[in-house]
Amino acid sequence: MSAEEELVVGVGSGTETTDMVLNIGPQHPSTHGVLRLRLRLDGERVTECEPIIGYMHRGAEKLYEVRDYRQIMLLANRHDWLSAFSSELGVALAAERLAEIEVPERAVWLRMALAEMNRVLNHLMFLGSYPLEIGAITPMFYAFTEREVLQAVFEEASGGRIHYMYNCVGGLKQDVPSGWEDRARTALDDVEHGMKRMDKMVRHNEIFAARTKGVGVLDKDTAAAYGVSGPVARGSGLDFDLRRDEPYLAYGELDVPVVLHEGGDCYARFMCLLDQVQTSIGLARTCLDRAAAIDGPVNVRLPKIFKPKAGATYVWTENPLGVNGYYLVSQGDKTPYRLKLRSASYSNVQALTRLMTGCLIPDMIAILGSMFFVVGDIDK
């Protein structure tokens, strides 16, 4: 049989069946960006899945090498456009560690408050889009209603709605407006109240449960072997969260509740995301209270041309989608010699090769969406 001929894989009711190779994407509305999946099918069952990436590659890691430490923030907040503030924060922390800069205490607590609100914004997008992918449109309207409340708070503080450019080496670009902490608390109260209808709609919904329970089961050991992190890993019972286990900023002073679900299926991953919104709202409130009680600057005055000393450092943070790592190498110049990213989505999407094998075509989109990735974060 030639390589071009199909392989006979089975006989059913006297009729031979053959493999079919099907491409999902690279322009498919359920892939959270330009991703391609190459599937081999036996009838309607997937026998092999190969994620093919690179369609959105912008070469961000090389662009870092020709941008100064102010300009690289603009690049950092774009690879995962749903976690822009958190991605900026990781780069700033790496540069500050390398330059041995101590950030003012007020900036630390404001950064944490904004990072937790950014986590809520990220999760709301997936909480709305995932049900949409499997046939439910109303949660998308609910999620975007709550997102707008928080986006208004972010816009007031930073001037941006998606790409904030609010972090800088040494703290925050500027202090928040007067009374902002109170308005942020009100926004969090509104989102918390609005999430009750989202919870009521999906948590015990029989149709949603039928499409997600027992589908795409990722066990704890497999998750760890693939380097899966964040809500996807914690949905498999993998008890790991850098905010608690290796605290950065001032997370070590807080009791960080880690949301775990043991099911490992699409339902467990979604519920982990849903429950985590509540914990992040609580953490954000605490950080706002601590920030409001502190007077002082929110940044360190730096030279016009910032040049950290030569050396290397590695910083990792608990981004909304999982663990992001930043390996920064400096040769004492105004631009990084190297800035290597370890993005959560890149590691998480690898597990699709295991999760898709043996599933049915109708379950394929349900599994794909439950991995909660951004393709720009994969391709960088």
Q: What pLDDT digit, counting tens, does each position of 21-64 carry?
A: 988 878 765 567 788 899 999 888 999 999 999 888 888 999 99
Q: Tell me what the mean pLDDT of segment 176-185 comes to.
A: 95
pLDDT of residue 146: 95
- Angle, helix 266-292 to helix 180-202, in steps of 10 degrees: 160
- Residue 373: strand pairing partners: none
12: pLDDT strictly greater than 80: no
Measured in whole angstroms, how far is the alpha carbon of residue 278 from the centre of its chain? 17
pLDDT of residue 6: 46
Q: Are 188 and 285 in contact (CB under 8 A)?
A: yes
pLDDT of residue 16: 63
Buried-state track 273-300, b at ≥16 Cβ within 10 A, e below 16: bbbbbbbbbbbbbbbbebbbeeeeebbb
Q: Are 147 and 199 in contact (CB under 8 A)?
A: no
Judged by DSSP in three states, 206 sits in helix
Judged by DSSP in three states, 61 sits in helix
The angle formed by the CA atoms of residues 144, 150 and 155, to the nearest 5 degrees, is: 115
pLDDT of residue 167: 94
Burial class from Cβ neighbours inside 10 Å (0-12, 13-18, 19+) for residue 137 reads exposed
pLDDT band at 1 (very low <50, low <70, confident <90, very high): very low
15: pLDDT strictly greater than 80: no
pLDDT of residue 93: 97
Round the average pLDDT of the chain to a whole number and report it.
91
Judged by DSSP in three states, 348 sits in helix
pLDDT of residue 11: 46
pLDDT band at 2 (very low <50, low <70, confident <90, very high): very low
Residues in the chain: 380
- pLDDT tens for residues 58-113? 889 999 999 999 899 889 988 888 999 999 999 999 999 999 999 999 999 999 99
Closest CA to 43 of 256, 360, 367: 360
- Residue found by looking up tokens 């775990």 in the block: 260
CATH class of the domain comprising 60-355: mainly alpha
pLDDT of residue 242: 96
pLDDT of residue 228: 95
The amino acid occupying position 60 is: A
Judged by DSSP in three states, 37 sits in strand
Neighbours of 196 (CB within 10 A): 9
Query: Which three-class secondary structure string do you get for 299-328?
Result: ECCCCCCCCCCCEEEEEEEEECCEEEEEEE
Find all residues with CB under 8 Å of 158, minimum gap 6, and list them: 164, 165, 166, 173
- pLDDT tens for residues 232-271? 999 999 999 999 999 999 999 999 999 999 999 999 999 9
Find all residues with CB under 8 Å of 71, minimum gap 6, and list them: none
148: pLDDT strictly greater than 70: yes
Render 286-299 in DSSP notation, one character per residue: HHHHHHHT--S-SB
Dihedral of alpha carbons 192, 196, 202, 203, sign: positive
Q: Tell me what the mean pLDDT of segment 212-216 comes to.
A: 93
Sheet holding 45-52, edge to edge: 8-12, 15-24, 36-42, 45-52
- What whole-number distance in Å separates Cα of residue 142 and Cα of residue 124? 9
- pLDDT tens for residues 301-329? 998 899 999 999 999 999 999 999 999 99
- Half-sphere exposure for 18 (CA within 13 Å, toward CB): 7
H helical segments located in 138-241: 138-158, 180-202, 206-212, 220-225, 230-234
Closest CA to 35 of 380, 329, 378, 269: 378
pLDDT of residue 7: 46
